[in-house]
Structure 1
Amino acid sequence: MTYRAGWIHFTNVAPILDSLILPPGVSAMTGVPTEMNEALLSGRVDIANISAVEFIRNAGTLEALPDFSVSVLGPVYSVNLFHTRPLEGLRRVALTSQSAMSVALLEVILRERGLSPTLERAEGDAETLLAQGYDGVLRIGDSALREWYGVVGPLTPDTTMTSLPHAGRGITVTDLAESWFELTGHPFVFAVWAYHKGNPPPPGLIGAMRTARRDGLGHLADVAQRHSRRLGLPVRVVQHYLWNFRYHLEAPDRLGLREFAAKAVPGHAELKFGPRPGDAVTSREPV
């Protein structure tokens, strides 16, 4: 029987997925985060790199690989709130339907600040939605990265990514992962590779993913060069963006995931992870 994988193939997972060669007996489909969340929960795929909040919400039935994540410590550059008023003055915020994770993170950050603007579903680029009357727009993924650079760029030979401003053309960009770090001091875990309990991926797929990750991280300049052309962004921007990510799931990442779970999904079931490399097959590590 074919083991079915579902990949959210944004640029941020290119170091894992670009060079991944599926072993025999494994197929794959791609989609945006909410599509892959639904595909896994409905059983259309057997494993997916789903948003961490959906993993938390469905912790009673899902388990995750113990050493894979899409995490970041500090700014992420591609999960942004574009706004024309200070956060404390926000009235109407447009939310993308592509990502449950980013919406949940925004809700936590607003709640921690004691803010409660009206949140509405609306699709479109940030500047268009701001011009339509929203004073805040949540954008994610490759489009958010391009729009962020369009507001705060350009990068010159004398500037770095970290020295770019947080505002331009009357628009402020609040990086939600950076806001999380300022709030908690922890990394933020955007995604994990989850599967239904009792149906773990075959060892060949896990091995292929680890091989692809080593290859991608070892050739990050090549990955950045390839994706910069597709994104229409300078190579320096894309390379900094990619080397900012944490693709494992280490103790600091688990600590951040635990804190987010407590803030976003109180009363969630215990989070379960499969055995680490070299562990006995029957071992399970709760978080």
Structure 2
Amino acid sequence: MSDQFERRINFGCVNYINSFPFSLELVKREDLRCVLAPPAQLLALLIDDKLDVALTSSLGTISNNLGYIPGFGIAAHQQILSVNLYAAPTFFTASQPRIAATLESRSSIGLFKVLSKYLWCVPTPHILRFPTTKVVRQTPEDYDGLLLIGDAALSYPEIPGFITLDLASGWYELTKLPFVFAVLLHNTSWKENPLPNLALEEALKRFESSPEEVVRKAHEHTGLNPSLLKKYYTLCHYRLGEEHYASLKKFREYYGILYQQA
């Protein structure tokens, strides 16, 4: 095994189009071993020390008490389009709303629970998880609400019988802060290294100077209209600052209270 290979950092990244501004460049690097996977899988690999760092669900800072490297992530200010609750009229009146949610949503389900209690003031919902194809077939007679994220939410801005509520908009209404969906988490044995942030900075600069490649790849991957994708990427924050980390702290507080009461 060469010294060059031994020095490579094991870098995980969520395999959704919101990470394309990072992941399309990360996979090309020889100084990283880039693993693309869903958030839950990346968190498991971090906990098992099979990854050094991962751009993945911000919920990992709470549910698994993992540390993060500041600077980069995925966040949204007031609107995101790709994290939606589709609420039936009964969502606001049911004694315990029944929600059909996709299997992929992690931080989104945490956010949904917080908004249910503190913004919409509804009882703790009963959430059932299904493949996306099953969720989008449900009607208000079946469930009080549906929760979709990612490509599916972008593909279904509306579902008959439901009203669409953007969860990033809900968080802003509650806190006047952006919501942080993903951060750069590290494992417990991580030793400070500038490479992850340097790699993300290089990728993001390329995206910022020429976003067309990312939009084209996202269109090929999803079939979504390029104009919608362009708007979507303008809503995503990839550089995180003070207000984003203030939001993460606020989310931790709300989420912690919820689980103390559970």
Q: TM-score range by the shorter chain?
A: 0.7 to 0.9
Indicate yes or no: 2:226 matched with 1:222: no
Q: Structure 1: any 5+ residue segments left out of the alignment?
A: 152-167, 269-287
Question: Which amino acid letter does the alignment assign opposite residue 191 of structure 1?
Answer: A
Q: How does 1:136-285 map to 2 (within 5 A)?
A: 136-148=145-157, 151=158, 169-200=160-191, 202-266=193-257
Partner residue in 1 for 2:40 = 34
Secondary structure of the structure 1 residue equivalent to 2:59: helix
Distance in 1 (alpha carbons) for counterparts of 2:47 and 2:102:
20
Q: Compared with structure 1, are the counterparts of its residues 267 and 87 closer, same or farther at alpha carbon in structure 2 (3 Å cutoff)?
A: closer
TM-score by structure 2 length?
0.86
Partner residue in 1 for 2:106 = 100
Distance in 2 (alpha carbons) for counterparts of 1:17 and 1:69:
12
Q: CA deviation at 1:124?
A: 3.0
Q: CA deviation at 1:206?
A: 2.9
Partner residue in 1 for 2:122 = 115
Indicate yes or no: 2:58 matched with 1:52: yes
Question: Which amino acid letter does the alignment assign opposite residue 10 of structure 2?
Answer: R
- Once the two structures are aligned, what percentage of the paired residues are identical? 25
Q: Compared with structure 1, are the counterparts of its residues 44 and 129 closer, same or farther at alpha carbon in structure 2 (3 Å cutoff)?
A: farther
Q: CA deviation at 1:225?
A: 2.8
Contact preservation (8 Å) 1:78, 1:144:
yes
Contact preservation (8 Å) 1:57, 1:265:
no
Partner residue in 2 for 1:70 = 74
Indicate yes or no: 2:132 matched with 1:124: yes
Question: Which amino acid letter does the alignment assign opposite residue 143 of structure 2?
Answer: Y
Partner residue in 2 for 1:164 = none
> What is the CA RMSD across the aligned residues, in angstroms?
2.2
- CA-to-aligned-CA distance 1:184-240 (integer Å, 9 cap, x gap): 100000010110244146433432221011101221233213312332222110001
Q: Structure 2: any 5+ residue segments left out of the alignment?
A: 1-5
TM-score by structure 1 length?
0.79
Contact preservation (8 Å) 1:23, 1:204:
no
Q: Compared with structure 1, are the counterparts of its residues 132 and 40 closer, same or farther at alpha carbon in structure 2 (3 Å cutoff)?
A: farther
Distance in 1 (alpha carbons) for counterparts of 2:25 and 2:57:
22
Contact preservation (8 Å) 1:71, 1:187:
yes
Distance in 1 (alpha carbons) for counterparts of 2:51 and 2:77:
30
Of 170-179 and 83-92, more deviation after overlay is shown by 83-92
Q: CA deviation at 1:131?
A: 7.0
* Aligned residues between the structures: 247
Distance in 2 (alpha carbons) for counterparts of 1:39 and 1:230:
25
Contact preservation (8 Å) 1:83, 1:130:
no
